[in-house]
Structure 1
């Protein structure tokens, strides 16, 4: 579509570039096309350029500069723009034309990496934190990307629409982003958008580091390591960080499918897509005292989820239950259940598997390792990676 419209960059990338320009540069740009710039707001300047169909290459090669600016000054400005946009480039290019071309290719090729900046849970945290802005973040996204009101904008749906965490922060003006950064108490050096994203990534890393405390609902232990959390939030956080672990193991956490098969009564915690309509249903149980022992109620839950998935045309390869520990009766009941295949995995074991995965230079992990049934031996799985 962009090629048919003769667009060098998608509109969202154009917006990033324009928001990184100074007011005098935007004024130069407007005057180049016969528009008045005096008394025109920054918002209106950007809006004009966005709808004028001006090629990005023209803007960066010529339109933002004063007539007296030489080639060296123009090259330096494009280099600074790359830094402002957070682009890591292996080479700068010797000519201005090279440099502009590298900038445009880099901003397009970084699209996939942007989705790796935050996990699903970190993505959700970012959206939740911006819900109090005026207008709220989802309203801004619907307006900016022309998304219908009927669309439920969960993180996985935003990913499917090609909207990254960085795209979300670019629907805010530079001044708004700086105000959000300051309200979060973040340092004022470096790129404010990247600082905000890194803060959510760091918070997620800390929860992951203390995953066992989440699993066992150890509120005092979490607070002792500097994690501010309410007891009512622990279960949801445990679920979110478990999804993060699966993602880091290279598994596909399918939020879109989970939404399709969920009802008000039945909502599986995790669905892992294996391809060819095969899935693993994950149930995540944080538990405060001792080993988890509620097999009858848990089995009713997961069997209901299996029926929902199979009714949707999926094949359930396995049900995986993650908990800090399981009672002997729970383990025996799971092994003897003839209606559904159930694997059990202790939370400490899941973290051990992730640590082994990260420690390998070329790790090999298959979701099939989670489908053996019964209580999984995390030590053996970790050694096989």
Structure 2
């Protein structure tokens, strides 16, 4: 769930710790202070009185400093912060009831203790699956950690690992190629694990700004933006779902090689080994730099293998970068962009239909998804529920084994030639709703984003498509989009885009503009056009209640020119604002949108959303 939505759910006391940290960062002159002050200038009472949307923007502007603040907390090696962070960043754990979080924490501690016991036994057992070279790596790391922790006792001080010692230990673990889980197991074989009270755990995480806690419903919230930040701190370059998607493209011998190198049981099934590799926290970059290739592979062969993996397996063409490292970095950035993108790939209705039919064909799937993502709810195959956890249709389909996918495809009349998952997603597309979910991308004429989200359209068609979608939105809000009346009024010279007929000779004129450039700034051109429409309407004895201009966004100069105009009753609406108003209207109790709310120069989205929610 996005930070803005979480902040809207919480009271001021529940947001205090988070806001105090950002306040502290602002007081130390962060690098983006000018942009932050622009946002704060509209508020006389400081950060506490800023709305959720702008707090979210300020958090993005202070993300580097916030990340350093959290990283400092990891210097206390006995804090268990690594255990707790690894729980909250797992796919499916960003919203948890307190009792469920407590249960996950208990399970994690028990599993860790059992695995530490097994690891210690492997150290002593000559017949264990650990290779001699791996045993040597473990022993080197363990000996260094032991010395760093125990040398304080010898000097009559409390046992701890200083930040300098920790930086050396982290470098050592990286050079030895240890996974995060291997490091964690060895760490806690030296530093005893003490199970903390769950209230204290929540309080400590809340105080460092990592989580929010709602006292009203006893729920822990971790913002999507925070999850991404915590993953960076834990050196997990991609979300589990993207790691899984990549691993599933590898042949079983390659998976076995990776498993053997990181002490994972090779007797497990193919899918189980993949899940264990993900849990191990093995570096995604190292995996693609070294682990997936034959030992004798040349650099050219490695590049070719990675390109084929991306193009044929992940459907990513033209992976950027000349070196192997550059290509891997481009792939990681691609996954980051996919994760940040709020569009679903198919429409929300299509997602619900897909889940319903998956549940009919594969009755065990609900239980499997519940287990995979550690959900507390009993029935989880619901589109809105899954999207709150940033789990999209592709993420669900990636978890289904090949025989079950084949069965589902046959039972539901889905195309069988080609890629199974892409065929399923294509089958459940609802084109109009999919376009509406990409309304802002259409406005910005962003062909690449539209293509990524499953929409193929010519650039020359985008202007008309934007106008058509705007009509659909206004119809959905209860307006009479009167094309017949509009066509009768229009002349060869003056052709307005949309006319909303309010009855009694009253109308609203709507003009639609698309633009690739950030900030629509052609006021002089558009104002002449709109004034000619106004004159046309007045000649026909019509009362113009409002003129609305819809565009991707507006520059400051455009807004200023609009404010200075005294001849038109003009309001500006960005594409994202209109889309959000439409979504809020659908959930409201109104049968028709109260157009009196269109009274600002630049339509205030937050005010209208609040009005619709009453």
Q: TM-score range by the shorter chain?
A: 0.5 to 0.7
Q: Structure 2 residue aligned with 1:371, among 594, 604, 611?
A: 594
Match of 2:237 in 1: 8
Q: Structure 2 residue aligned with 1:29, among 251, 258, 273?
A: 258
1:275-290 aligned at under 5 Å gives the runs: none
Residue 194 of structure 1 pairs with residue 422 of structure 2: yes
Residue 165 of structure 1 pairs with residue 318 of structure 2: no
Whole-angstrom distance in 2 between the partners of 1:245 and 1:102: 27
Q: Structure 1 residue aligned with 2:277, among 49, 72, 82?
A: 49
User: Over residues 306-358 of structure 1, what are the superposed CA-to-partner deviations in whole Å (9 max), with x where a residue is unaligned?
Assistant: xxxxxxxxxxxxx9558999xxxxxxxxxxxxxxxxx999xxxxxxx99x97x
1:106-117 aligned at under 5 Å gives the runs: 106-113=334-341, 115-117=343-345
Quickly say closer, same or farther: Cα 1:135–1:7, change in 2 above 3 A.
Answer: farther
Whole-angstrom distance in 1 between the partners of 2:331 and 2:309: 9
Residue 361 of structure 1 pairs with residue 361 of structure 2: no
Counterpart contact for 2:351–2:393, Cα < 8 Å? yes
Residue 77 of structure 1 pairs with residue 338 of structure 2: no
Whole-angstrom distance in 2 between the partners of 1:18 and 1:63: 11
Q: Structure 2 residue aligned with 1:17, among 230, 238, 246?
A: 246
Using the TM superposition, give the Cα deviation of residue 150 of structure 1 relative to its aligned residue in structure 2, in angstroms: 6.0
Quickly say closer, same or farther: Cα 1:33–1:320, change in 2 above 3 A.
Answer: closer
Residue 125 of structure 1 pairs with residue 349 of structure 2: no
Residue 59 of structure 1 pairs with residue 276 of structure 2: no
Counterpart contact for 1:26–1:46, Cα < 8 Å? yes
1:80-119 aligned at under 5 Å gives the runs: 80-88=308-316, 90-113=318-341, 115-119=343-347
Using the TM superposition, give the Cα deviation of residue 95 of structure 1 relative to its aligned residue in structure 2, in angstroms: 1.8
Higher deviation after alignment, 101-110 or 183-192: 183-192
Quickly say closer, same or farther: Cα 1:34–1:147, change in 2 above 3 A.
Answer: closer
Residue 143 of structure 1 pairs with residue 371 of structure 2: yes
Whole-angstrom distance in 1 between the partners of 2:265 and 2:381: 38
Whole-angstrom distance in 2 between the partners of 1:143 and 1:87: 28
Whole-angstrom distance in 2 between the partners of 1:344 and 1:85: 51
Match of 1:184 in 2: 412
Counterpart contact for 1:114–1:165, Cα < 8 Å? no
Using the TM superposition, give the Cα deviation of residue 57 of structure 1 relative to its aligned residue in structure 2, in angstroms: 1.3
Using the TM superposition, give the Cα deviation of residue 167 of structure 1 relative to its aligned residue in structure 2, in angstroms: 0.8
Quickly say closer, same or farther: Cα 1:17–1:162, change in 2 above 3 A.
Answer: same
Using the TM superposition, give the Cα deviation of residue 148 of structure 1 relative to its aligned residue in structure 2, in angstroms: 0.9
1:282-361 aligned at under 5 Å gives the runs: 320-321=477-478, 361=514
Quickly say closer, same or farther: Cα 1:40–1:138, change in 2 above 3 A.
Answer: closer
Counterpart contact for 2:346–2:425, Cα < 8 Å? yes
Counterpart contact for 1:92–1:102, Cα < 8 Å? yes
Whole-angstrom distance in 1 between the partners of 2:293 and 2:287: 9
User: Over residues 96-116 of structure 1, what are the superposed CA-to-partner deviations in whole Å (9 max), with x where a residue is unaligned?
Assistant: 222222112212212244734
Whole-angstrom distance in 1 between the partners of 2:438 and 2:325: 39
User: Over residues 75-96 of structure 1, what are the superposed CA-to-partner deviations in whole Å (9 max), with x where a residue is unaligned?
Assistant: 1221122124534355432222
Using the TM superposition, give the Cα deviation of residue 62 of structure 1 relative to its aligned residue in structure 2, in angstroms: 1.0
The RMSD of aligned alpha carbons is 3.9
User: Over residues 181-229 of structure 1, what are the superposed CA-to-partner deviations in whole Å (9 max), with x where a residue is unaligned?
Assistant: 344343444332122101111xx23xx5xxxxxxxxxxxxxxxxxxxxx
TM score, norm. by length of structure 1: 0.53
Using the TM superposition, give the Cα deviation of residue 69 of structure 1 relative to its aligned residue in structure 2, in angstroms: 1.9
TM score, norm. by length of structure 2: 0.35
Using the TM superposition, give the Cα deviation of residue 127 of structure 1 relative to its aligned residue in structure 2, in angstroms: 0.8
